[in-house]
Amino acid sequence: MRKPFVAGNWKMNKTVDQATLLVADMLPGLEAVKTVDRVVCPPFTSLMVISGMLAGTEVGLGAQNLHWEESGAFTGELSPAMVKEFCQYVIIGHSERRAYFGDTDETVNKKVKAAIAIGLTPIVCVGETLDEYEAGKTGDVVARQVKNGLKEIEAKDAEKLVVAYEPIWAIGTGKAASAEEAQDVIGNVVRKNLVVAFGDEVAQKIRILYGGSVKAGNAADFFGKPDIDGGLIGGAALKAEDFVKIVEAAA
Ligand SMILES: O=C(CO)COP(=O)(O)O
């Protein structure tokens, strides 16, 4: 049985003061749901203070990106070791990074390898654009992202991975995919390609999340599907009550 997993991707929201208040607000509710792995991913600037708040709790902390090199002349970037100082998780290849900041399957693969090497659990994002969706290319695009993004990862490391399927047309739009559609892509494309890459035993251990307009009201529909092991939550992760409800729906 895979343990459900729910992560909040705060994106570029919340100053340190605001982040502290939000975590203080949601922490008791999150702490109570022991059967779900729950993770918050605030901006870099808040990681240090939030890691202090989460010390001694079972709530995990994730960054939203990292660079694959150990150190050097990479202005504006953070190394795997810098992220590891505070975090257990790191989101890699979010569609916003692919669309606006040049992340590709190749750099995603480098980041995944670097995260694993330092002992971080990557949350690897895949998903098709609206054009690709409308052209019926979802399967091809997502299969390519899974295959290339996770190239040359060893099976023993792969079982700890978390993969998030986020159709780009559903992100921040209020138009979630249907739970059936999400299950279809996650089961028949993402998990199937994980089986090809790592074998059935390992693929059955990998948590696969759905992301894109998940709210307190629709979360249970997604989490009830056999291959959907939780969610990567954007907007609704910025409201303590909503995020706790979504985590509860995964229990
Ligand atoms: O991109 C997302 C999480 O990474 C989803 O964002 P929304 O939940 O705001 O649609």
76 is in an annotated binding site: no
Can you give the residue range of the structural domain that contains 132?
5-250
Q: Is the pLDDT score of 250 beyond 90?
A: yes
Q: Is the pLDDT score of 1 beyond 90?
A: no
Amino acid at 240: A
ipTM above 0.85, yes or no: yes
Q: For ligand 1, which residues put their CB under 6 angstroms from it? A: 9, 94, 166, 171-172, 211-214, 232-236
Output the pLDDT for position 76. 97
Per the structure, the count of domains in the chain is 1
Q: Is the pLDDT score of 116 beyond 90?
A: yes
Output the pLDDT for position 85. 98
Residue pair 223/4 in contact by the 8 Å Cβ criterion: yes
Q: Spell out the residues 6+ positions from residue 160 whose beta carbon is closer than 8 angstroms to its own.
A: 116, 121
Tokens of 128: 């098709």
Q: How far apart are CA 176 and CA 213, in angstroms?
A: 5
Please state, in angstroms and as integers, the Cα–Cα distance from residue 230 to each residue in 44, 65, 140, following that order. Answer: 24, 20, 23
Q: Is 166 a catalytic residue?
A: yes
Quick one: which of 218, 177, 210 has its CA closest to 191? 210
* Percent of the chain at pLDDT exceeding 70: 100
193 is in an annotated binding site: no
Instruction: Give the CATH number of the domain where residue 76 resides.
Output: 3.20.20.70
Q: What is the CA radius of gyration of the chain?
A: 17
Q: What is the mean pLDDT of the chain?
A: 97
Q: Is the pLDDT score of 245 beyond 90?
A: yes
**Residues 117-127, mean pLDDT to the nearest whole number:** 98
Residue pair 37/4 in contact by the 8 Å Cβ criterion: yes
CA 212 – ligand 1 centroid, Å: 5
Mutate to test the pocket of ligand 1, among 163, 214, 238 (most ligand atoms within 8 A of CB): 214
At 42-95, the pLDDT tens digits run 999 999 999 999 999 999 999 999 999 999 999 999 999 999 999 999 999 999
Q: Spell out the residues 6+ positions from residue 45 whose beta carbon is closer than 8 angstroms to its own.
A: 15, 16
The packing angle between helices 105-118 and 138-149, to 10°, is: 40
At 140-152, the pLDDT tens digits run 999 999 999 999 9
Q: How far apart are CA 251 and CA 249, in angstroms?
A: 6
What sections of 55-206 are H helices per DSSP? 80-84, 95-100, 105-118, 130-134, 138-149, 155-158, 179-185, 192-198, 200-203
Please state, in angstroms and as integers, the Cα–Cα distance from residue 137 to each residue in 93, 130, 248, following that order. Answer: 19, 10, 34
Q: Which of 96, 128, 132, 166 is catalytic?
A: 166
Where residue 198 falls among pLDDT bands split at 50, 70, 90?
very high
213 is in an annotated binding site: yes
**Residues 207-221, mean pLDDT to the nearest whole number:** 98
Quick one: which of 123, 43, 126 has its CA closest to 86? 43
CA-proximal residue: ligand 1, atom 2 (nearest): 234
